[in-house]
Amino acid sequence: MKIFGLIAVLVVGALLLSATSDFPDWRDKDSPANKSPVSSFYIEKTEKLTKVPNMVTAVLADYRGYDTMFETVVIFIAGIGIIAVLRNFDGPYSSSIRRENNDEGSGLLARITCSLILPFIQIFALYVVAHGHHSPGGGFQGGVMLGASYILLALAFGLSKAKGYFSERRTMIFAAVGIFIYAGWGVLCLLFGKEFLNYSVLDSLLPGDVEMARSHSMLIVEIGVAFTVTAIMFSMYSNLSTRGRLNKGL
């Protein structure tokens, strides 16, 4: 087995290395990928068409928004997939919400530190979501940070306390609603008579002109992504850390 694996790996590596021979140089600004009309269109026209200086956000949420919707769906699938595989529901459904006497969680110092920094983490996460147009970040990164803040809460104060804020039912609703916001916004464009996710028709709905309509729609879409990612990150952690029993954390 090991030998077979080694041979296979070596063959694959040899193929790939042989292919690198006729690649354009690394950092070459005239490589086909870099001077192709597509990427130059993104770089040159983005700000004019969408008023979003962060091209990555623009491409992510507008030009290839269809991809990003499915990216969110992938996260969603992972979340409900983990529940479907691992979760074992014992007793009535509501029992997973009930508060236990939390002898869990970590020491006093950690709790105090967490209670001090958690607000800042969450505020920063919201900032990342909202400011993704102008700076690195966006719905996904912000969502992950928000979810991480809840994970931190669970680590410090025990899972049951965290579940008090973010029960399982609520995580599911949040996750579904996030995609609802995203896809629903696209369907709104459909209802206005243009293609799916064609934000430009919504300028009648949103303040500002067509470009601002695109920009605002991106913000809304990113918020949807943030909803889903936050919920799923937390439910991932809470299921994996308790073998799907959701009774007490690490």
Partner 1 sequence: MIWQFDIIILIFLVIAAIISLRLKDLLGASMVFGIYSFLICLLWAEMGAVDVAFTEAAVGAGVSTVIMIATVFSTKRRSKD
Partner 2 sequence: MTEHFPVLILLVPLFGALIVVLLGRERPDQCWVTSLISLGISSLISFFTVIAVLSGKVQELRYRMGGWPESEGYEIGIELRVDILAALVVFAVTLIGFVNTIYSKTRAEAEVQGKVPFFYALMQLLIVGLCGIVMTNDAFNLYVLIEITSLTSYALIAMGNRRAALSSFNYVIMGTIGASFYLIGVGYLYIKTGTLNIDDIHMVLGQKNSWADQSIIVAFIFIMLGVWTKMAFFPLHGWLPNAYAYAPSMTGTFMAPLMTKVMVYVMIRVMLWLFGYKFVYSGQYIWGELIIWMSVLAIVAGSLLALARTDIKKMLTYLIVAEVGYMVGGAWLGNVTGQAGAFYHILSDAAMTFCLFIAASIIVLRVGDSRVNAFDGLFRKMPLTMIGFTVGALSMIGLPPTCGFFSKWYLISGGIEAGQWEYVCALIFSSLVNAVIFFRIFERAYFGKISGVKEDHFPTDSDANPDIRIKEVPWSMLIPLFLASGTVLLLGIMNRSLFEWIQTALKMMNA
Partner 3 sequence: MDPIVATFIEENIVPNFNYWIYVILMMIGLYAMITKNNLIKKLIGMAIFQTAIILFYVSVGVKDTAGIPIISHHGSEHHQMAGLSSEAGSTKEIHNKIDKDKYANPLPHVLMLTAIVVGVSTLGLALAISQKIYKSFGTLEEDEILNELRPGGHD
Q: Which is nearer to partner 1, 138 or 186 (CB)?
A: 138
Interface segment toward partner 3; rule CB under 8 A; list 131-139, 150-158, 163-171, 213-221: 131-139
The CA distances from residue 72 to 12, 104, 120, 127, 192, in Å, are: 32, 33, 26, 20, 24
Binding status of residue 112 toward partner 3 by CB under 8 A: no
Binding status of residue 151 toward partner 2 by CB under 8 A: no
- In terms of C-beta density within 10 A (0-12 exposed, 13-18 middle, 19 or more buried), how is residue 123 classed? exposed
Burial 198-225 (b: 16+ CB within 10 A, else e): bbbbbbeebeeebbebbbbbbbbbbbbb
Cβ atoms 129, 138 nearer than 8 A: yes
- What is the smallest separation between the CB atom of 119 and partner 3, expressed in angstroms? 26
Interface segment toward partner 1; rule CB under 8 A; list 9-17, 44-52, 114-122, 140-148: 140-148
Pick from 98, 134, 169, 194 the residue near partner 3 by CB under 8 A. Answer: 134
If contact means CB under 5 to 8 A according to the sort of partner, which of partner 3, partner 1, partner 2, none does residue 113 touch? Answer: none
Cβ atoms 215, 130 nearer than 8 A: no
Q: Which is nearer to partner 2, 54 or 200 (CB)?
A: 200
Pick from 56, 78, 97, 126 the residue near partner 2 by CB under 8 A. Answer: 78
Report the C-alpha gap between 59 and 45 in whole angstroms.
11
Cβ atoms 83, 239 nearer than 8 A: yes
Binding status of residue 200 toward partner 2 by CB under 8 A: yes
CA dihedral 148, 153, 156, 159 (to 10 degrees): -100
Report the C-alpha gap between 86 and 230 in whole angstroms.
20
Interface segment toward partner 2; rule CB under 8 A; list 101-109, 117-125, 128-136, 193-201: 193-201
Binding status of residue 104 toward partner 3 by CB under 8 A: no
Report the C-alpha gap between 219 and 214 in whole angstroms.
9
State which of positions 44-103 bind partner 3 (CB under 8 A): 44, 46-48, 53-56, 59-60, 64, 67-68, 71, 74-75, 77-78, 81-82, 85-86
Count of residues touching partner 3 (by CB under 8 A):
58
Among 128, 170, 135, residue whose Cα is nearest residue 150: 170
The single-letter code of the amino acid at 55 is M
The single-letter code of the amino acid at 236 is M
Binding status of residue 91 toward partner 2 by CB under 8 A: no
Binding status of residue 240 toward partner 3 by CB under 8 A: yes
Interface segment toward partner 1; rule CB under 8 A; list 89-97, 115-123, 175-183, 234-242: 234-242
Cβ atoms 213, 206 nearer than 8 A: yes
Q: Which residues bind partner 1 (CB under 8 A)?
A: 27, 54, 56-57, 128, 136-138, 140-141, 144-145, 147-148, 151, 233, 236-237, 240-243, 250
